[in-house]
Every structure is written in structure tokens, then in C-alpha cells.
Amino acid sequence: MKAAIIGAGNMGGAIACGLAASGRFAEGEIVCSNRSSEKLERLHEKYPTITVTTDNMAAAKGADVVIVAVKPWYAESVVRQIRPALDATRQILVSVVAGVSLEHIAEWLQPTPKPWAIFRAIPNTAVELGCGMTFVTAINASEEQMDTIISLFGMIGESMAVDEKQLETGMILASCGIAFAMRYMRAAAEGGVELGMPASQASRIVAQTMIGAAQLVLHNGSHPEQEIDRVTTAGGITIRGLNEMEHAGFTSAVIRGLKACK
């Protein structure tokens, strides 16, 4: 499979790095384009197997999967620009552009000789390390094409097929969620410093603890509250800490923050 990524910004670069690091692509099978060369140079220096170019048309032509990863306000012009290089009979187009609907992308691709298989995917930046969370939806796609895109993003983390109306919620939980989790990490590390732990050690402890907590839920298939019950003994310090956080509105604040993103 040959994958072209149009855009080498935060998300496009993360996808390119994740795919390259997966070891599933031969040299030259990942092509990344960007209008400026600085980001491309850094990308190629990190992963020499990635082919880089400032020519979007050249990147798109001949790819099996074309991933558009540009800012929303550039999306229409980029899709219309690469349209002559695309072949609806054999290529799959994937947009990771937030807020741009499948309907709009289909409109920009007209006219086409057949209904185009168009995908929207919402990953988070952890795809760079192969532990991302990506939500996928599509129009005019066969089951085989859906499997191809789910598998592609499955190389760089978890991937899940959803209805388009669910993409925004997925983005809030997983993409915005990266920032929310980081804010907890910062707060917990600062608390650790106040309790006497050096800052670098506190940050590492909190990060590893978050990894462990997530793995317990994923591995055991458990609800977070079940794992909480395992570490909260009657009259113990954990339940005292949890109750104090709840008195300060912890759960309410998280839910309000998520709803504010709508």
C-alpha cells in the first residue's frame, strides 16, 4: 500500500511518523507533502524512509490512500488542487480535517465518473507513538475499503468505525482529551512537588501511573469505578483524597469541560 499525506503539520506529521515507525511500509510507500520545506526536512531527517515533496499533486498521484491533513480553511483549495491527480476508480480519499463534512468533500471532488469512497478520520496526536485513538466514518465505501482504513489507522493505535454525527464526541474525548489528561498530569505533578518530590520525578511518576491506570481498564475490560474500588480501603487515604476532589467538583468539572467543547 502507498499512502500520501497532504500536510506535515501536527496531525499530518504525527500520522506520517506513526506509519513509518510501524515498520509496515517499505521505503517510498509513505509520501508526505507540505507547502514549506522546513517541516518536511525535519520529518525526513527523523524517518528517511518517508518521501517528502512540496508538490501536493505529485504526492497524491499514484497513492492508494490519500490523507488530507491541512488546516480547515485550506481544505477546499487543497482538495480542488489535487483533484486532477486523483482517480476515483482506485484511490481512497481520507480527510482528517476537523469540522469539514463528508458532504462538503464530495462536493469539492465533482464531477466524478463514479461515487467516490470518501473517509473522515479523527485521530489524536498519540498516533505518532503508535498508541492513538482514531474514529472513522465514510460515504460510498465498500466493506473492504472500510477494513483497509480501519487497518491503516490500527497500525498506529486503536481505530473505531462510527457514524459521522459521533465524530465530534469522539474528538472531544480523544483529541481534546489529550489536553485534558495533560492538565491532570500537570496538576498531580505540582501536588507531588508540594509534597516533597522533585518535579522531574513527580512528572514521571504521574505519567507512568496514568499508563498503568489505562492499561488496567483496557486489559481487564473493567469500568474505571471497579479499579477505583480495588484501591480504596475503608477509612484509607485514597478514599479521603477522592472525596476531597469530589467536594471541589472534580467529576462535574470534567463533564462541564467536555460539554463546553460542543
> In which band, very low, low, confident or very high, does the pLDDT at 91 lie, cut at 50, 70 and 90?
very high
Asked if 116 and 232 sit in the same domain, the reply is no
> In which band, very low, low, confident or very high, does the pLDDT at 185 lie, cut at 50, 70 and 90?
very high
| Total domain count, the chain | 2
pLDDT given for residue 161 in this prediction: 97
> In which band, very low, low, confident or very high, does the pLDDT at 246 lie, cut at 50, 70 and 90?
very high
CATH classification of the domain holding 189: 1.10.3730.10
* Pairwise CA distance, residues 133 & 143, whole Å: 21
Asked if 57 and 178 sit in the same domain, the reply is no
Asked if 20 and 93 sit in the same domain, the reply is yes
Single out the residue in 162, 195, 210 at which a domain terminates: 162
Asked if 14 and 93 sit in the same domain, the reply is yes
Determine the distance from the C-alpha atom of residue 85 to the mean position of all C-alpha atoms in its chain, rounded to a whole number: 26
pLDDT given for residue 145 in this prediction: 96
pLDDT given for residue 115 in this prediction: 81
Asked if 130 and 86 sit in the same domain, the reply is yes
What does the pLDDT average to over 209-238?
Answer: 96
* Pairwise CA distance, residues 33 & 60, whole Å: 9
Asked if 95 and 120 sit in the same domain, the reply is yes
Asked if 13 and 136 sit in the same domain, the reply is yes
Does position 184 have pLDDT exceeding 90, yes or no?
yes
Q: What is the pLDDT of residues 44-55, one digit of tens each?
A: 999 999 999 999
Burial 168-198 (b: 16+ CB within 10 A, else e): eebbbebbebeeeeeeebeebbeebeeeebe
Asked if 201 and 157 sit in the same domain, the reply is no
Cβ–Cβ < 8 Å for 49, 28: yes
> In which band, very low, low, confident or very high, does the pLDDT at 255 lie, cut at 50, 70 and 90?
very high
pLDDT given for residue 62 in this prediction: 87
Q: Are strands 65-68 and 132-139 parallel, antiparallel or unpaired?
A: unpaired
pLDDT given for residue 112 in this prediction: 77
Single out the residue in 112, 140, 162 at which a domain terminates: 162
Asked if 50 and 152 sit in the same domain, the reply is yes
pLDDT given for residue 32 in this prediction: 97
Q: Strand, helix or coil at 121?
A: strand
CATH classification of the domain holding 20: 3.40.50.720
Asked if 24 and 69 sit in the same domain, the reply is yes
- The domain of 80 spans 3-162
Asked if 106 and 87 sit in the same domain, the reply is yes
* Angle between helix 199-220 and helix 177-194 axes, rounded to 10 deg: 130
Q: What is the pLDDT of residues 129-173, one digit of tens each?
A: 999 999 999 999 999 999 999 999 999 999 999 999 999 999 999
List the beta bridge partners of residue 52: 32
Asked if 114 and 175 sit in the same domain, the reply is no
Q: Comparing 103-107, 112-116, 121-125, 232-236, which segment has the lowest mean pLDDT?
A: 112-116
Single out the residue in 101, 128, 162 at which a domain terminates: 162
